[in-house]
């Protein structure tokens, strides 16, 4: 194929040019420029800009509020992804074994994944409403709480609200990925294990889980990276509070950039975030490859 296509050099250019230009101008240039901006105090609110070296980095790293934000972001994203992976996998196991209506169930559950984040946000604000929310009403009826429980007024409860929204929104994705992974488990293997007297739990542990682990771990990483970008839910439901408990790194960066118009500082957060993600992802993948190669 290489030979055939190289006879049409213009065609090859035409294949790559649009994507290269779009990605170059809209992604790579902004990233490089972001690196440069992070060494300046650029702000649209002021007319002059100067090069300030690593001042922005120092400013952030010695700010306890920034470290709180990092910690809270990690807590919320890791717990969301872990919970969603486990529940998504469990759902897939269940659906994989039902004889009829598998597609219907899958389609219904999958609806959650296409609901716009802004809808999830207003909906979560409503169902967790302290006075009239259906969650509080249900808890009261079950006798679990007495009176009114303020979901967004307590740091831990506010995190629970955000995590539950994240989990609800990504379970369908994890389920679909798990179903795809289960397709790759050869029936013969399961059958012979059964013949050898392995119970369902043993089959799950020794055959299904090892074979699906890679898919699930990669899916979990993808969703974690995606949740790092997510901003709507904390913005709308908790405004990042109380006490920054639900301020994610993305909300923090966005506020620095487009509420405080501190482009230098926002770029610095973005660069630190990129570095952290690269480190986390490579450690994660390395660990994965070692275990499963």
Partner 1 sequence: MKHAGPVTGSTAQNAVGEGRFTLARLAVATIATLMMLWPIAWMVSTSFKRPEAVFELPPRWIPEAPSLAGYEVALSAAVLRYFLNSVIVASATALLATGAGALCAYGLSRLRFRGNRAVMLALLGSLGLPIPLLMVTLYLLFFRVGILDSYLALILGHTVITLPVVVWLLKDFFDALPREFEEAAFIDGASPAQVIRLVILPLVRPGLAAAAIFVFVTSWNEFIFGMTFISSDTYRPIPAAMGLLFLNEFQYRWGDTMAVATVVTLPIMLLFVLFQRYFVSGITAGAVKG
Partner 2 sequence: MRGWKSSLALTLGLAIAALPGTDALAQQKTLRIMGYQATFEHFRPAWEWVLEEFQRRHPDVTIEDIPTAFNETLNQITVAVLGGNAPDIVIVNPVWMAQLDSLDALQPLSGLISDAELAKFPERVREDLTFDGELKALPLNPGPIMMVYNRDLMREAGLDPDAPPKTWPEFTTAIEKICALPDRNGGKVSGIALRLDRGAQTAQWLIPVIWGMGGEITDSDGEFNFTSPPVIEALQWYRRLVEEGCAQPGATVGDTRNLFAQGRAGFIFEGPWIRGLVRNLSADQLQIAPDGNIWIAPMPENPSGEVRQFANHGVIAITAQAKDKELAASFVDFLLNDPDVVDKHFEIAQIMATGNTELLASGAHGADPLTQEFVKYLPNSQALPMQHPRWLAAMDALVPHIQSVVDGADAQAEAEQAERDAQRALSRR
Element (H, E) at 14: helix 9-23
Give the whole-angstrom CA distance, residue 76 versus residue 157: 12
Report how many residues bind partner 2 under the rule CB under 8 A: 34
Stretch that binds partner 1, among 63-71, 72-80, 145-153, 271-279 (CB under 8 A): 271-279
Q: What x/- string results for residues 192 through 231 when contact with partner 2 is judged by CB under 8 A?
A: ----------------------------------------
Give the whole-angstrom CA distance, residue 74 versus residue 252: 14
- Tokens 């839910």 belong to 233
Paired residues of 40 in beta bridges: 51
Note whether 226 and 136 are within 8 A (CB).
no
Q: Which does 115 bind (CB under 5 to 8 A by kind): partner 1, partner 2, none?
A: partner 1
Query: Any residues with CB less than 8 A from the CB of 254 and at least 6 apart, and which?
Result: 231, 235, 266
- The binder of partner 1 chosen from 58, 94, 148, 289 (CB under 8 A): 94
15 binds partner 1 (CB under 8 A): yes
User: Which pair of tokens denotes residue 212?
Assistant: 């699906």
Query: Any residues with CB less than 8 A from the CB of 140 and at least 6 apart, and which?
Result: 146, 147
Q: Is 80 left (phi over 0), alpha (psi -120 to 50) or beta?
A: alpha
Give the whole-angstrom CA distance, residue 135 versus residue 168: 15
Query: Among 124, 114, 119, which residue's Cα sits nearest to residue 237?
Result: 124
Segment 181 to 240, residues that bind partner 1, using CB under 8 A: 181-188, 190-191, 194, 215, 218-219, 222, 225-226, 228-229, 231-232, 235-236
Least separation in angstroms between CB 267 and partner 2: 13
232 binds partner 2 (CB under 8 A): no
Segment 56 to 75, residues that bind partner 2, using CB under 8 A: 59, 63-65, 68
- The DSSP annotation for 130-174 comes to TTT-HHHHHHHHTTS--S---TTSSHHHHHHHHHHHHHHHHHHHH
Q: Which does 112 bind (CB under 5 to 8 A by kind): partner 1, partner 2, none?
A: partner 1
Cβ-based nearer residue to partner 2, 5 or 243? 243
- The binder of partner 1 chosen from 31, 54, 67, 287 (CB under 8 A): 31
Segment 145 to 174, residues that bind partner 2, using CB under 8 A: 147-148, 150, 152-155
Cβ-based nearer residue to partner 2, 33 or 259? 259
293 binds partner 2 (CB under 8 A): no
Report how many residues bind partner 1 under the rule CB under 8 A: 108
Note whether 189 and 207 are within 8 A (CB).
yes
Chain residues in the site for partner 2 (CB under 8 A): 41, 43-46, 59, 63-65, 68, 131-132, 147-148, 150, 152-155, 238-244, 247, 255, 258-262, 265
């Amino acid at each position: 194929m290489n030979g055939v296509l190289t006879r049409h050099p213009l065609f090859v250019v035409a294949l790559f040019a649009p994507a290269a230009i779009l990605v170059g101008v809209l992604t790579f240039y902004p990233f490089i420029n972001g690196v440069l901006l992070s060494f300046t105090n650029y702000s649209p609110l002021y007319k002059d800009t100067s090069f300030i070296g690593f001042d922005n980095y120092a400013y952030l790293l010695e700010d306890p509020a920034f470290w709180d934000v990092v910690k809270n972001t990690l807590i919320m994203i890791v717990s969301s992804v872990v919970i969603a992976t486990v529940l998504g996998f469990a759902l897939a196991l269940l659906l994989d074994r039902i004889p009829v209506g598998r597609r219907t169930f899958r389609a219904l559950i999958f609806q959650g994944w296409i609901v716009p984040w802004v809808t999830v946000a207003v909906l979560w604000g409503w169902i967790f409403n302290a006075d009239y929310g259906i969650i509080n009403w249900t808890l009261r009826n079950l006798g679990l709480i007495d009176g009114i429980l303020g979901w967004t007024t307590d740091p831990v409860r506010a995190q629970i609200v955000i995590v539950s929204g994240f989990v609800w929104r990504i379970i369908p994705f994890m389920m679909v990925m798990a179903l795809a992974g289960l397709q790759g488990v050869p029936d013969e293997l399961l059958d012979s294990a059964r013949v050898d007297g392995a119970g369902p739990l043993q089959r799950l542990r020794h055959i299904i889980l090892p074979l699906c682990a890679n898919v699930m771990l990669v899916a979990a990483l993808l969703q974690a990276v995606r949740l790092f970008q997510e901003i709507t839910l904390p913005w709308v439901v908790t405004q990042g509070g109380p006490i920054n408990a639900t301020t994610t790194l993305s909300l923090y960066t966005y506020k620095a950039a487009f509420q405080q118009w501190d482009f230098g500082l926002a770029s610095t957060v973005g660069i630190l975030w990129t570095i952290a993600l690269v480190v986390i992802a490579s450690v994660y993948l390395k660990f994965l490859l070692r275990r499963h190669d």
